[in-house]
Structure 1
Amino acid sequence: KIEDIDLIIFASYTPSDTIVTTGHYVQGKYNISNAKVFFVSSACSSGLNAIEIIYSFFTSQIAEKALLICADRNSTYSDDTDCVSGHLWGDGATAYFFSTESYSEKDPQIIDVTTQGLGHIGLASRAVYLNPKEDGLKMPHGKDVFIQACTYMAQNTKDIVEINGYSLDDLTFFIGHQANMRILKNVAKQLAIPEEKVLTNIQELGNTGSTGALLVLAQNIKKIARGDLICISVFGGGYSAGSCLIKIP
């Protein structure tokens, strides 16, 4: 029952309200009285940051049932006339339920999740930013974003797979941050992941920010079968990065 949720996290970098967040709105709408609620933001890594926090809350037995709402409304802040990056952005949202218990034989299991702050590399604080009062959502240094994203998404995918005793060949599907197809193809080439294993929605929806990779998983959930191994790897402005390994038992 939705009323049994004891942790709600709203993950986004485009909130319409930073006080009454979407998490608090959902708590009120569904009368989820016993939940801790907060908002987390780390650009396009926000969704995986939230999953890592949920994992930590479960491990420390602070919570047992969590709701993650991940959404970005880039259209509020983007400028379609911006010839550098105005054409890239899209809007999207997902909601996921996490539990310390399984409710069916097909429940995906989080094997591992990790994130990292990368504010110390490259043009981190200048490459992509959102200033609501001035010029909105901008990416003036897309080349630096491309280089860093390709580097960290590939390395983090390799690391999380191998640390958990698998090889890249064991992956059934790879889901990268939906920034652009050039990045996804570059990462897949570095890791020798066949094109048919790479799931995307960028060509349909654009860069939907922190929810992009999670939205791809939701859209393809019917393709996933027992025994499948899925890796999500993301990169965000600021900079930030993260990866998540999922197994279908």
Structure 2
Amino acid sequence: MFINKISHYLPSEVIGNEYFTKLNNLSSDWIIARTGIHERRRTSEGENTSTMAVDAVEILLKDAPYSKNEIDLIVGATYTPYDTIVTLAHAVQHALQIPDIPVVSVSSACSSLLNAIEVVQGYFAMNKATKALVVVSDNNSAYNNETDTVSGHLWGDGASAMLISKKRQSEQDIFIRDLKTGGAATHEKAMEAVVLRPNTRGVVMPYGRDVFIHACTYMPKVSQEVLQRCGLGIEDISYIIPHQANHRISLNIIGTMGIPEEKLISNIQELGNTGCAGCAIALSENRHRFKKGEKLIVTVFGGGYSYGAMLLEV
């Protein structure tokens, strides 16, 4: 599979740490020390998960390598849907007016990007599609409880979109060499460590330390597994994009793997935790940096203790 083009959309409203200083008496220095976050984006009135997704797609289709009418599969991913019946992917299909193609939305918390791409892989393998549109979008501010001093300051909003084809379309394509996902929900605290339930306002994170430990365990582990399956080592990697949950987690991951900090791509400082869109946004933001032949690892971890890694070659 090949990523033909990638884009991202960010709301214009910027929320600095001082907002949470006034609201919850949390100092900016404290937030930065614990999370790395300086500011985050928040949707404005009239924006939501679906509108951000459509905006990202509109940006994507400008100078796209092929017509939107060649898209024969749409896969959306979010854990913060605007509508739980009219899914994210169907909202995108409606906006694009591409009729009578498979349209699927998935949710595996912050790992949803890789699961969405894995769905594309399945459709391609079954010869049910050849050119797919993947859209990831999370509107955390619609669900977040800002007064929660544990996690209220973590979240940001944003979306990303990518065109993926079964066969190479141009020399600018990014080759998806390998992809692996999994679930570690068998762990004792996985069902309660971080949750977002309709009858409970906002994200509840009573076992943040347990999330930290397992994120720092599974992201390096699955990344190493993907590298080994491709006969590669850490020295072959030019960049790593871990799930943008906490900068301390990212630093722990590269420390465990022996990757120098200059190879770490991070956007949590300016965007906060943008959920399953975070890694895709980072990939889009930095696309211009990547040179032919370079290899990247994208690795994720989410609620329910979902995880995964993807190896890309430019």
Q: For residue 100 of structure 2, what is the aligned residue in structure 1? A: 34
Q: Which runs of 5+ in 2 are unaligned?
A: 1-66
Letter of the 2:230 counterpart: N
Superimposed CA distance per residue, residues 106-132 of structure 1 (whole angstroms, 9 cap, x where no aligned partner): 200100111101111141010101113
Question: 1:79 Cα deviation (Å)?
Answer: 1.4
Match of 1:198 in 2: 264
Give me the whole-angstrom Cα distance separating, in 2, the residues matched to 1:183 and 1:29: 37
1:69 to 126, 132, 135: 135
What corresponds to 1:110 in structure 2? 176
Give the letter aligned to residue 244 of structure 2.
Q
Give the Cα–Cα distance (whole angstroms) in 2 for the partners of residues 121 and 214 of structure 1.
27
Q: Choose 1 or 2 for highest CA Rg.
A: 2
Cα offset, 1:20, TM superposition: 1.0
For 1:120-148, what per-residue CA distance to the aligned partner results, in whole angstroms no more than 9, with x for missing partners? 11410101011133222221211000000
Q: Does residue 168 of the first structure (1) align with residue 234 of the second (2)?
A: yes
| Mapped partners of 2:147, 2:131: distance in 1 | 43
Q: Partner of 1:44 in structure 2?
A: 110
Q: Is the 8 Å Cα contact of residues 5 and 34 (structure 1) preserved in structure 2?
A: no
Identity of aligned residues (%): 46
The one-letter code matched in structure 2 to 1:214 is A
Q: Which residue of 2 aligns with 1:119?
A: 185
Amino acid across the alignment from 2:287: I
**Which range moves more in the overlay, 32-41 or 222-231?**
32-41
The residue aligned with 1:245 is 311
Task: Write the letter of the residue equivalent to 2:88.
Answer: T
Q: Note if contact 1:3-1:31 (Cα within 8 Å) is conserved in structure 2.
A: no
Task: Output the TM-score relative to the length of structure 2.
Answer: 0.77
**Secondary structure of 1:130's aligned partner:** coil
Which residue number corresponds to residue 165 of structure 2?
Answer: 99
| CA contact 2:140–2:156 (8 Å) conserved in 1 | yes
**1:151-198 CA deviation, whole Å, 9 max, x = no partner?**
000101111011111111100100000000110000100011000100
Q: For residues 194 and 279 of structure 2, what CA distance do their matches in structure 1 show?
A: 19
Kindly tell me the number of residue pairs found equivalent between the two proteins.
248
Misfit runs of 4+, over 3 Å: none
Structure 1 SS opposite 2:219? helix
Could you say which residue in structure 2 is the equivalent of 1:186? 252
Residue 206 of structure 2 is matched in structure 1 by 140
SS at match of 1:124: coil
Letter in 2 for 1:64: T
Query: Is the aligned partner of 1:149 residue 2:198?
Result: no
